[in-house]
Amino acid sequence: MTAFERTIRGFPHLTLWLLILPVAAGLAGVVAPAFGWLPALGGEALTLSPWRDLWQAPGLVDMLRLSLVTGLASSLVALVIVVLFLGAFLDTRPFHLVRRLLSPLLAVPHAAAAIGLAFLLAPSGLASRLASPWASGWTQPPDYLFPGDPGGGALIAGLVLKEVPFLLLMSLAALPQCRAEERLRVARSLGYGRLNAFLRAVLPGLYPLIRLPIYAVIAFASSTVEVAIILGPSTPPTLAVAAMRWLNDPDLALRFQASAAALTQLALTALALAIWWLAERLVARMAAGWLVNGRRADLERCGRGLAAGLTGFAILLLGASLVGLVLWSLAAWWPFPAAWPSPMTLDAWREAAEAGLTPLGHTASLGLAAVALSLVLTIGCLEAETQRRRTLRPGAQLILYLPLMVPPVAFLYGLVQWQTQLGLSPGWPAAALGHGLFVLPYVFLSLAESYRRLDPRWGQVAAALGASRARVFWRVRLPMLTAPIAVAAAVGFAVSIGQYLPTLLLGGGRLATLTTEAVSLASGGDRRLTAVYALSQMALPALGFMLAAGLPRLLWHHRHASSH
């Protein structure tokens, strides 16, 4: 065995351990302080007092309910929209249009989407300005609470808007695997309407394939910090936000309580997943008879109308949010209810250009480092698969999803405790590794299909010509996969740019990125500067996707067949 083959063989284990270790260590690191043990802060006796403090925290029950309800409701609404959209439009013209919009939509960071939505629907936002005063009669911003309504409606809306593109992308990748097109044809030729054919013949095959991504969505939605800071209520906030506040409180004693809260968050997310799982069983059981009752057009028209309405509404919201952000970033003076700021100025952009260079540099360097690390590990794993001629075991697949399933609040806190305990200084390297944890799964999911589908005969041809395995890898497989690798890198870069918690916690609060700045500005009052940061946050991933699309063409411009 050559050195190359030995190195490659080590990659799957290395990668899995790099995913398991931080998550496991992080969880372990949060358990001890939750029971009072953290010598660095003087906690040297096991006690239940962190839990007592947590139970006595004002509004705890509301926090738990808020996290659970917003997590489950937003996931459900997002799934319903995706299912209705696929059912009503699969393989039609609007379907292909939306499909093309998908990558740019996915690239929008959570925080930027949340800020855009908040600015759009706030009492003095673009929506109420457009309706005032001619339709609403408002000459002053109306008195309603958005974002931050106590029921969490704004939070749910923001999460839905961001999760729909993700679930849609995952579904699109899974549709060919379950032979969706053929199933749909059979059902329609038997007389089933489009939507009924999809629900009865395709969805039962599709759902198992997108179950893990759905669980990842639930885990994220029930534990998000940045979206909840921007759109969620503040007294009481969601559990994750509360835990975050206690952890960052100058009173270090609150860290014990924060650890207990982080563990509670873990249990809460597990509970949300368990509720969903039970609901899955229930729906499957109740629908079994419905699937074969022979009715061809149950709610067909009304479902399709709803699908068109919801999809159109979601796209409208996203588009209007973007317009609103652009207007705010250019506004000098924008009194209510003017729909257009006047005069317009580039002042906010100038201000950001001075103050924003450091955050921009951190954002880019963290993103590039995390992407480089993830690409090396992912390609190593996939090449090992190719050499062993079998794909990862299902268990390994599950581990890839680990950082997406365990609430980051829970295990990142634990890692911070380890930093404190071991006296490690937080900063760029820790934050870059933290970003890598969340980037790696996406890079892997994005690249795996293309890598596995590459015709093995290319390698066999090269080997028959006398090329070693290393040479086949460097000179044949990698160049042939330039385009999907570039796309995976762009996906990973976008994910890194969206990261909030790893930067904040592992960077020790000293590492400013576009995202951390945007989130902290959003809770302040300066809408102009916030809009500039949110827009820059969107521009960077878009730039990445543009490069990913252009790079292969630039490299291979003289090779007609590889530029397609």
Partner 1 sequence: MPDTSALLLDEVAIFQGPHPLVEVNARIAPGDVLTLMGPSGVGKSTLLAQVAGFLSPAFTAHGRIRLGDEDLTRLAPEHRRLGLLFQDPLLFPHLSVAGNLAFGLPAGGRRRARRGRVEAALHDIGLSGFADRDPATLSGGQQARVALMRVLLAEPRAMLLDEPFAKLDAARRDEMRRLVFARIRARGLPTLMVTHDREDAEAAGGRVIELTTSTG
Smallest distance, Å, CB 289 to partner 1?
7
Q: Select from 12, 36, 109, 193 the one that contacts partner 1 (CB under 8 A).
A: 193
**Secondary structure element (H or E) that encloses residue 385, with its range:** helix 357-388
Find the angle CA(525)-CA(502)-CA(211) to the nearest 5 degrees: 105
Residue 152 — left, alpha, or beta (φ > 0 → left; ψ -120 to 50 → alpha)? left
Largest CA distance in the chain: 80
In 3D space, the residue among 89, 85, 240, 88 whose CA is nearest the CA of residue 152 turns out to be 240
Q: Two tokens at 37?
A: 């043990």
Which of 47, 55, 182, 302 lies at the binding interface for partner 1 (CB under 8 A)?
182
CB of 192 to partner 1, least distance (A): 6
DSSP SS3 for 44 = strand
Cα 109 to Cα 290: distance, rounded to the nearest angstrom? 39
The encoded tokens of residue 280 equal: 């899955």
Is 282 a residue that touches partner 1 (CB under 8 A)? Answer: no
Output the CA torsion 96→227→128→84 (10° steps). Answer: 30
CA dist 122 and 142 (Å) reads: 9
192 vs 276, which CB is nearer to partner 1? 192
Total residues at interface with partner 1 (CB under 8 A): 25
Whole-number Å distance between alpha carbons of 218 and 342: 42
Mask for 474-513, x = binds partner 1 (CB under 8 A)? ----------------------------------------
With binding defined as CB under 8 A, does residue 289 bind partner 1? Answer: yes
In whole angstroms, how far apart are CA 160 and each of 52, 243, 512? Answer: 35, 23, 27
- Determine which residue in the list 82, 88, 187, 506 makes contact with partner 1, applying CB under 8 A: 187
Q: Pick one of 61, 278, 282, 291: the residue that binds partner 1 (CB under 8 A).
A: 291
Q: Cβ–Cβ contacts within 10 Å for residue 46, how many?
A: 9
Question: At its nearest, how many Å lie between partner 1 and the CB of residue 178?
Answer: 9
Segment lying near partner 1 (by CB under 8 A), choices 148-156, 195-203, 382-390, 516-524:
195-203
Q: Residues 199 to 218: which contact partner 1 by CB under 8 A?
A: 200-201, 204-205
Which stretches within 90-109 are classed as H helix?
Answer: 93-107
Is residue 56 at the binding interface for partner 1, with CB under 8 A as the rule? no
Under 8 Å between Cβ of 308 and 301: no
Among 40, 94, 173, 188, binds partner 1 (CB under 8 A): 188
| Closer to partner 1 by Cβ: residue 193 or 541 | 193
- Taking alpha carbons only, the member of 60, 415, 402, 405 closest to residue 243 is 60
Minimum Å gap between C-beta 299 and partner 1 is: 14
Q: What are phi and psi of 560, to 5 degrees?
A: -60, -45
Q: How far is the CB of 269 from partner 1 (least distance, A)?
A: 29
Tell me whether residue 120 or residue 201 sits nearer to partner 1 (CB atom).
201
User: Minimum distance from CB of 188 to partner 1 (Å)?
Assistant: 5
Candidates 76-84, 181-189, 303-311, 507-515: pick the segment binding partner 1 (CB under 8 A).
181-189
Query: Nearest approach, Cβ of 231 to partner 1 (angstroms)?
Result: 38
Q: By CB under 8 A, is residue 296 in contact with partner 1?
A: yes
Q: Residues 37-42: contacts with CB within 8 Å, 24+ apart? A: 38/255, 38/256, 38/259, 38/417, 38/420, 38/421, 39/421, 40/420, 40/421, 40/423, 41/252, 41/253, 41/255, 41/256, 41/420
> Which CB sits closer to partner 1, 190 or 353?
190
Q: Does the protein bind partner 1 through residue 281 (CB under 8 A)?
A: no
Are 395 and 12 contacting, i.e. CB atoms less than 8 angstroms apart? no
Does the protein bind partner 1 through residue 545 (CB under 8 A)? Answer: no
Specify the residue, 52 or 96, whose C-beta has the smaller distance to partner 1: 96
Distance between CA atoms of residues 227 and 241, nearest Å: 10
Q: Under the criterion CB under 8 A, does residue 564 sit at the interface with partner 1?
A: no
Is 199 or 409 the residue whose CB approaches partner 1 more closely? 199
| Number of alpha carbons in the 13 Å side-chain half-sphere of residue 482 | 19
Choose, by CB under 8 A, the member of 139, 235, 293, 425 that binds partner 1: 293
CA 290 → CA 114, 188, 285, distances in Å?
Answer: 38, 17, 10
Distance between CA atoms of residues 496 and 440, nearest Å: 10
Binding-site member from 189, 335, 422, 423 for partner 1 (CB under 8 A): 189
Shortest Cβ distance from residue 529 to partner 1 (Å)? Answer: 47
Shortest Å distance, C-beta 82 to partner 1 = 19
Using rule CB under 8 A, residue 294 touches partner 1: yes
Q: Determine if 141 is a binding residue for partner 1 (CB under 8 A).
A: no
Give the integer Cα–Cα distance in Å for 235 and 444: 39
Using CA atoms, how far apart are residues 379 and 413, in angstroms rounded to an integer?
A: 30
Query: Least Å distance between CB 176 and partner 1?
Result: 15
C-alpha angle 164-493-459 in degrees, rounded to nearest 5: 100
Q: Does 186 bind partner 1 (CB under 8 A)?
A: yes
Instruction: Write down the least CB distance from residue 183 to partner 1, Å.
Output: 7
Say whether residue 393 binds partner 1 (CB under 8 A): no
Q: Note the residues at the interface with partner 1 (CB under 8 A).
A: 179, 182-183, 185-194, 197, 200-201, 204-205, 289, 291-296
